[in-house]
Structure 1
Amino acid sequence: MEAVNEFIAQAAASPWVYLVVFAVVLVDAFFPPVPSESVVIAAAAAAVAVGTPSLPLVIACAAAGAIAGDNLTFAVGRSVPLDRIRFLRGPRMAAALDRARAGIHQRAGVLVLSARYVPVGRVAVNLMAGASRIAPRRFLLLSALAGASWALYSVTVGVIAAHWLGGNALLAMIVGIALGVSAGIAIDAALRAVARRRDRHAAARVATPATAPVTACATQAAPQPEEARR
């Protein structure tokens, strides 16, 4: 354990750690298997446990990578037809794209901000925002807010884990990453539940007006009493 913590301390002291944070977060914006949350959380936990790297710089690099990656994904969505992108054809990504397509114009702000915390969700939303011709300046502002809040959240998880475990770098990284992954799963589940509830309400609103004219016509066509005809 001591040898592992010593290795973590040496790695965290390297100036390259900031470039790694930026690059990993950038790539994760359009390639979800890259564990950007885990890297940011681990860097923050190491900052508390061993004193390096600098927490403000970790936040800045993570936010910059998120904003750059999200806008790159947005640009791809604007310039490349989504049906030509092979990895979007999987069932999970296709479902995420359908949810994004259903509300990107009405709830662009909510979708961009919330999807930043869900790996597959952020790729789908950012691509759909580009394909739907959301104004680039509007998306830049939304992605900046999302990237900054996500970076601050990820670093906070790492800091809490490190303080909770008394400065043990390895355990803080493991627990922090577990907390971050669990939070992402919970947010994804909540977004799915909200989408399903909204779809049910929309279906109910569509079905209700369709029955109203039938009722009205039936009422008008009902035979009148003999006294009324006289």
Structure 2
Amino acid sequence: MLEFLGSVTGSPWLYGVIAASVLLDVFVPLLPSGVLVVAAATAVAGTTATTATTTAAGAADLPDQARHAAESAHVPEILALVLCAATASVLGDLVAYRMARRGGDRFDRALSRSRRLRLAQERLGRALAGGGGALVVLARFAPAGRSVVSLTAGAAHRRAKEFVPWSALAGLTWAAYSVSLGYFGGRWLGATWLGTAVSVLALFTFGTLAAYALRRKAEDAGDGREAGQPAHSA
């Protein structure tokens, strides 16, 4: 797979697949969009190393200059990966936000069928109310956190200007982090399955920590709300 990704690095077809995967995983969180972004960045790191080796072989007395030249040549591809993933992330968030905002009773009925999603929405809604937009960025890394945030914002009829800037920051942060993991992991460990696996593991580890932090924030918000409720007399 890495060899294939390396052969199509820079191709519009590759960016199209990545954009579609990232856009759609707001509705199907099981899609491996993060893994695909990391693998593509690892493949770019592999082509960088290959280019540097080939160039240095023809100019053995200038290996450092050859390496820097190879790295500079692939900067546009790295930036394109980040912008592609971030743009698709924001567009997917907006689609989910608009669907939930316009869904009305139909969305509420669909949500009520999933106890797990309903509880997650309630908890995250409390967390967002207490923690502000910064939690939107954190939720982008948590499994299904992006979906819950976008749907919650739409269902709660939050204004677009309150949601979109944080969604854009979340998408850009996630994309830059994922691409950086893949690229630097590929440079340090090699553009192999090992390098990709370590980078993906780091991505999922951070996602797990983000999910834990969100749960704690939601629980604290829920406890605070309950503590603030007046006691009812018998």
TM-score range, shorter chain: 0.7 to 0.9
Residue 136 (structure 1) aligns with? 160
Residue of structure 2 equivalent to 1:94: 118
Contact 2:37/2:81, CA 8 A, preserved across alignment = yes
CA distance in 1, matches of 2:151, 2:6: 38
Instruction: State the Cα distance separating 1:129 from its structure 2 match.
Output: 0.6
8 Å CA contact 1:46–1:173 kept in 2: the answer is: no
Measure, in 1, the Cα distance between the counterparts of 2:218 and 2:43.
Answer: 37
| Residue in structure 2 matching 1:38, options 25, 32, 35 | 35
TM-superposition CA deviations, 1:114-147 (whole Å, max 9, x none): 2111231211111111111111122221211111
* Alignment match of 1:109 (pick from 133, 139, 155): 133
Letter in 1 for 2:89: A
**Alpha-carbon displacement from aligned partner over 1:57-114 (angstroms, at most 9, x marks no partner):** 000100100010001110011011322336x733432221111332444544133222
Match of 2:93 in 1: 70
| C-alpha RMSD over aligned residues | 2.4
Cα shift at 1:56: 0.5
SS of residue in 1 equivalent to 2:144: helix
In the alignment of these two chains, the number of paired residues is: 205
Which of 26, 32, 49 pairs up with 1:29?
26
Cα separation, partners in 2 of 1:176 and 1:69, compared to 1, 3 Å: same
Instruction: Please give the per-residue CA displacement for 1:169-220, whole angstroms capped at 9, x wherever unaligned.
Output: 33222221122112111210121122223323333343xx649x9xxxxxxx
1:203 is aligned to 2:226 = yes
Q: Secondary structure at the match of 2:85?
A: helix
Give SS of 1:80's match: helix
Q: Which has the larger radius of gyration?
A: 1
Structure 1: distance between partners of 2:47 and 2:173? 25
Gaps of 5+ in 1: 214-230
Q: Which residue of 2 aligns with 1:226?
A: none
**Other-structure match for 2:60:** none
Residues 93 and 120 in structure 1, CA contact (< 8 A), matched pair in contact too: no
1:1-230 residue pairs with structure 2 within 5 A? 5-12=2-9, 14-51=11-48, 54-81=77-104, 82-85=107-110, 89-165=113-189, 167-206=190-229, 210=231
After superposition, the Cα gap between the structure-2 partners of 1:134 and 1:19, relative to the gap in structure 1 and judged at 3 Å, is same
Q: Is the 8 A contact 2:123 2:222 kept in 1?
A: no
Letter in 1 for 2:158: I
Q: Distance in 1 between matches of 2:127 and 2:211?
A: 16
Gaps of 5+ in 2: 49-73
Q: Tell me the CA shift for residue 15 of structure 1.
A: 3.2
| Residue range with higher mean Cα deviation, 41-50 or 107-116 | 107-116
What secondary structure does 2:158 align onto? coil
**Alignment partners' CA distance in 2, 1:36 and 1:192:** 23
